[in-house]
Structure 1
Amino acid sequence: MAGVKVRLDEAMGTSLIMLYGLAHDAHATPSILGDTVAAQALEKVDYDFARLKLSPKLTALAVTTRAKHFDGWTSRFLAQHERATVVNLGAGLDSRVWRVAPGAGVTWYDVDYPEVAEVRRKIFPSRDNYHLIGSSVTEPDWLEQIRPDLPTLIVAQGLTMYLQPEEGQSLFRRLTDHFAHGAVILDTHNSYALRRQNKLVHRHFGATMHWAINGPDDLERAVPQLHCTDVVSGLVLQGRAPGLPIAYKIFVKLVQSVPVIRDAGLYLRYEFGS
């Protein structure tokens, strides 16, 4: 099959890194996630990944340790709610719905820009109770397509940092107003990480990160409906990954006493509603 020409602008282009890491891990022994759907999808993509100068092993470890944690949060929520809705914001080229494989009572929505949605339709298979919405997550109209009454899990992995603070806060207020009850899981960059990571993403994709979240209280103050139930340091979690170079493990151990570095990226879980 001919490859899909992928030309994704600005922050949308970073979704290719996710797919690349998942696919590389799928071919590794041992594999952390074994995501064969991602591996098959990457084979359909025509893109020069060499220009990104990525380390396949380190990229796979970074991508899969985060994805595995968010998969776990998702699976635990669905284990508690046989009938539920999942709204995956800024889905990019992640194949989470196939990894989690939700049951028949779960309706899943992936939301991303129309350009990303078009690529997803070409490289991923279809499945029951799965819907793809081609829209910017900050546009309000798409939300009306989703029923509000079921327990709802909102996933925002790799999204918040690319939003303007005001539009991100408004988005989460709309979500918690629309859905009756549920949970929100997301990852963040603090101010320190935003400055460092912006150099990388701007050089490769022309993207700019805008929204620094320095702790769970930042979002609770902006969106009072949200109540944080779990906080995990992404750096510390990644430092426990099998096969990580010893130098990186030593670095992670050393910086655990430096909060601004240790908490450069946090994985946060909130609950809202009854």
Structure 2
Amino acid sequence: MTEKADFTGVEQTMLITLYLRAWESRSKDSILRDHVAAQIVDHIDYDFSKLMMRGGAGNRFLLALRARQLDEWAADFLRRHPDAVVLHLGCGLDSRAFRLDLPAGARWFDVDLPDVIDLRRKLYPEPEGYQTIGSSVTEPRWLEEIPTEHPVLVIAEGLLMYLTEDENKRLLHQFTDRFSRGELIFDGFAPWVIRMTQRMSKRLARKGYPSYSTAIRDDREIERWNPGFRYIDDVPLASLFARIPVRSYRTVYRLMNAIPATRNFYRMFRFGF
């Protein structure tokens, strides 16, 4: 049985990322090995080929490298805090809750817009300790469902760049106001990338893609937005080139890593609070 998927704009990006993760995970040298994604694609009634833009083949490695780095940070947090609460914001159709080996005492919340969660509930199980919440992440009321007595891991993959800077600031203050301790892991683009997508906004809109709104200028950006956060680590995506199994793409990422402007065009960040 297949499920219909009819999304545009930011929501459409979840179908792109799902398809590319599934494609990458079918390789014998897969970086991510997201075999659940490959299974889910087969249960969605959608013409995924119309999502592919020029360069789509290489983007599967970008997504796999990003997801694997965030998976590793999430797994590390769960090893240190087996009773943690995990908030996966803008989860889309990501299978992270099922890729990771969750401790028995952990609680996981996947959060996204109501129509995305409706589709997700048709495709994924909801085992004990796992819950979905249908809400915009910028709507504060959904946080009332989250327990506050345990360490919290907030995962914001492919999300903060779509929010305005004011929306990001409000969201981060809600975390430090409500939770006593935890970590935030996320990805962010350099300012020049944001400016480039904004200049291309009309072209992207014709294809149903949104442009980005917010850049991460440096590794202290989040601390400037909210002093309750403290920088822990960041990893330039290009620096992970050795994990790419295809020589041509590995060479491109190696060259990007050697040039400061392109080395830091896209990074994954880890902050504590």
Output the TM-score relative to the length of structure 1: 0.92
Cα distance in 1 for residues equivalent to 2:80 and 2:27: 32
SS in 2 for 1:188: strand
Question: What is the aligned-residue identity percentage?
Answer: 35
Give the corresponding residue for 2:244. Answer: 242
CA RMSD of aligned residues (A): 1.8
Higher mean alpha-carbon deviation, 16-25 vs 86-95, is at 16-25
Give the alignment of 1:66-81 within 5 angstroms. 66-81=66-81
Match of 2:213 among 197, 210, 215: 210
The one-character-per-residue Cα deviations of 1:60-111 (angstroms, maximum 9, x if unpaired) are: 3222111111110000000001211000111111100000131110000011
Change (3 A) 1:19 1:206: closer
SS in 2 for 1:230: strand
Give the alignment of 1:61-210 within 5 angstroms. 61-198=61-198, 199=200, 201-210=204-213
CA contact (8 A) 2:109 2:133 kept: yes
Cα distance in 2 for residues equivalent to 1:43 and 1:92: 16
Cα distance in 2 for residues equivalent to 1:102 and 1:36: 17
SS in 1 for 2:153: strand
Output the TM-score relative to the length of structure 2: 0.92
Cα distance in 2 for residues equivalent to 1:133 and 1:32: 29
Give the corresponding residue for 2:28. Answer: 29
CA contact (8 A) 1:37 1:124 kept: no
Cα distance in 2 for residues equivalent to 1:59 and 1:258: 19
CA contact (8 A) 1:192 1:261 kept: no
The one-character-per-residue Cα deviations of 1:101-156 (angstroms, maximum 9, x if unpaired) are: 31110000011000110111111222221010000000010001111120110000
Aligned-pair CA distance for 1:37: 1.7
In structure 2, give the amino acid aligned to 1:101: D
Change (3 A) 1:30 1:21: same
CA contact (8 A) 2:29 2:245 kept: no
Cα distance in 2 for residues equivalent to 1:165 and 1:56: 28
CA contact (8 A) 2:161 2:189 kept: yes
The one-character-per-residue Cα deviations of 1:189-248 (angstroms, maximum 9, x if unpaired) are: 1211123345375343241311111112111111111001001101222x22232343x4
Aligned-pair CA distance for 1:29: 1.1
Structure 1 moving runs of 4+ over 4 Å: 54-57
Cα distance in 1 for residues equivalent to 2:212 and 2:29: 34
2:231 is the alignment partner of 1:232? no
2:28 is the alignment partner of 1:4? no
SS in 1 for 2:121: helix
SS in 2 for 1:121: helix
